[in-house]
Homo-oligomer: A and B are copies of this chain.
Amino acid sequence: MTISDIAKELGITPSTVSRALSNSTRVNEKTRLKVQLVAQRMGYHPNVMASSLRKGTSGTIGMIVPRINRHFFSNVICGVERIVNPAGFNLLIYQSDEQHDKEVLGLQTFLKNRVAGIIISLASDTDDYSHLQQLSGMGVPLVQFDRVKDDLQGAKIVNDNFNGAYLGVKHLIKSGYKRIAHLAGALHLNVYNERLNGYLAALKEIGMGYDDRMIVTNVITRDAGADAITKVIDAGADAVFCAGDYSALGAMLEIKKRGLIIPDNIGVLGFANEPFAEIMSPALTSVEQNAFEIGNRAAQAIIQMIEKKDATINTEEVVPVRLIVRESTIKNNCLTF
């Protein structure tokens, strides 16, 4: 079922059919209608591979995320689709599984498919960026979000991680906690680095200073959270700011297991506001990221770059975050709050 079939059926040429179907002005209104009718009737579906081969560009945008089943990432995906689909693009989604190798593999697939642009959030594993560096030279637009590498060409959309952490820790301080620990992530990733800095800034502001034993790094998973919390409790922590909700979850379960009370003995603050944060008891105070908005902006950025055919811009947008205060950080006997 091709354009030529329709042409034969109507006794006209393929070019006219092509024009009729692509809503060109260089075609008689009657012809257009006839063609579109016949196309419909014959169950014609344009072959976009032929079309994009000819046009030299595909209407596909490639997106690489570390994990599809994280609330944050799946919602960014939704945000991207919301913009990208009505604009006539479709999304090819790849999971890197936090692995650099898979990230490279996905990228190569995208290049083979001549995607119009690439949206990515880096795998935690990735510390070599050559696969991404080549893109601007090839004229392939790149948009990074959340986990970004600063000196790569392209747009960057990030959360206000610093401020989220800062606000959260300030809140802990106001709630009366005195020795606030931090379960940090992998510090080579901007997101965790910035959260650490926000934490430090909040402490510094009130002259609290910081204690090495109060900071544990590379704590991202639930299990790691459970392990790490014991260390900081032993070091005398009465509150903990976790760089992610999963580590916060692990910490909370471990704290309960030890018979301590949240928030009275220990306050817990998370980051990401995963759906379970609200449901837990006590409900987990967390920093909400506007995933959908990030997706929207990433989509707008990539579409703009595609339309301007410019892969060499270098912008950064910071999306605000919001502290959601719940039970896990409000002492029942707290007077200062």
Q: Closest approach, in angstroms, between the C-beta of A246 and any C-beta of chain B?
A: 10
Residue ID in chain B nearest A47 by CB atoms:
B114
Q: Which of A68, A94, A134, A281 has the most CB of B within 10 A?
A: A68
Q: Which of A275-320 contact B (CB under 8 A)?
A: 275-276, 279-281
Cβ of A187 under 8 Å from chain B: no
Residues of B within 8 A of A280 (CB): 279-281
A53-B47 contact, Cβ under 8 Å, with A74-B74, A280-B279: yes
Chain A 93-109, CB-CB to B under 8 Å as 1, else 0, gives 11100000000010011
CB–CB A49/B58 < 8 A: yes
Q: Which residues of chain B come closer than 8 Å to A77, judged between CB atoms?
A: 68
A93-B93 in contact (CB<8A): yes
**Interface membership of A87, Cβ < 8 A:** no
- A335: chain B residues at CB < 8 Å are none
**Which residues of A in the span 10-32 have a Cβ within 8 Å of any Cβ on B?**
none
Rounded to whole angstroms, the CA-CA distance of A90 and B107 in the bound complex is: 12
Contact: B91 with A93, CB < 8 Å?
yes
| CB nearest neighbor in B for A111 | B45
Chain B residues with CB under 8 Å of A109's CB are 90
A-B contact pairs, 30 of them (CB 8 A): A45-B108, A45-B112, A46-B112, A47-B112, A47-B114, A48-B112, A48-B113, A48-B114, A49-B52, A49-B58, A49-B113, A49-B114, A50-B53, A68-B74, A68-B78, A69-B71, A69-B74, A69-B78, A78-B95, A81-B95, A90-B94, A90-B113, A91-B92, A91-B93, A93-B93, A249-B279, A275-B276, A276-B279, A279-B279, A279-B280
Q: Which of A50, A91, A138, A275 is most buried by chain B, counting CB atoms within 10 A of its CB?
A: A275
Closest to A43 in B: B134
Give how many A residues have a beta carbon under 8 Å from the other chain's beta carbons. Answer: 40
Taken residue by residue from 59 to 100, chain A's Cβ proximity to chain B (1 for < 8 Å, 0 otherwise) reads as: 000000000110100110110010001000011111100000
CB distance from A61 to the nearest CB of B (A): 11
Interface string of A127-167 (1 = CB under 8 A from B): 00000001000100000000000000000000000000000
User: Interface centre among A45, A91, A92, by most B CB within 10 Å?
Assistant: A45
Residues of B within 8 A of A281 (CB): 280-281
Interface residues in A189-240 (C-beta closer than 8 Å to B): none
Minimal beta-carbon separation of A268 from chain B (angstroms): 14
Given contacts A276-B276, A280-B279, contact A49 B53 (CB under 8 A): yes
Contact partners of A49 in chain B: CB under 8 A: 49, 52-53, 58, 113-114
Contacts of A112 in B (CB 8 A): 45-48
CB neighbours of A113 from chain B (8 A): 48-49, 90
Chain B min CB distance to A280 (Å): 6
- Closest beta carbon of chain B to A110's beta carbon, Å: 9
